[in-house]
Amino acid sequence: MRFLRRGGGRTVWRDSRCRVVLAEEPFTGFCRVIWKTHVREMTDLAAPDRDHLMHVVWAVEAVLRARLSPHKMNLASLGNLTPHLHWHVIPRFAGDSHFPQPVWGVRQRDALPRTLPSDFADGLARALTAALPAR
């Protein structure tokens, strides 16, 4: 069975149940919220764990909105290729390569991702730590 690999980005926040990874993707600020233990679907989790996971997803969305001011936020939990519970939290900008289509859709234009400040990951980690106190 294929699991989410440890690579693919920088872990910017974690607790005993999940972690947030700032992904190495061609979309500025793309994050994944990854459940720690192996489950395939949201309904495989107990209700308190589902609530916790969504609380983290929403916190990541709020922090990215505040820091990047995107045109739109996309949230997705697919798992078709990697059947391990994780959420994609994706800031979208009107000029990105796929906008307004999904990031997994057909490229609409040639565009480079926005350049993030060198301290973006550290600032994101601090903001998530403030937004997600130990539960």
- Name the pLDDT band for 134 (thresholds 50, 70, 90): low
Examine residue 17 and state whether it is found in any structural domain, yes or no: yes
For the segment 4-41, what is each residue's pLDDT rounded down to a tens digit? 445 579 999 999 999 999 998 789 999 999 999 999 99
The DSSP line for 64-117 is HHHHH--SEEEEE---SSS-S-EEEEEEE-TTSTTTTS-TTS---S--PPPPPP
Instruction: Provide the whole-model pTM.
Output: 0.90
Specify the length of the chain in residues. 135
How large is the average pLDDT for residues 63-76? Answer: 97
Examine residue 3 and state whether it is found in any structural domain, yes or no: no
What are the angstrom distances between the C-alpha of 50 and each of 42, 43, 66, 85?
A: 7, 8, 24, 11
Domain tally, the chain: 1
Cα–Cα distance measured from residue 90 to residue 61, given in angstroms and rounded to the nearest whole number: 8
**CATH code where residue 29 lies:** 3.30.428.10
Residue 102 tokens read as 């999904």
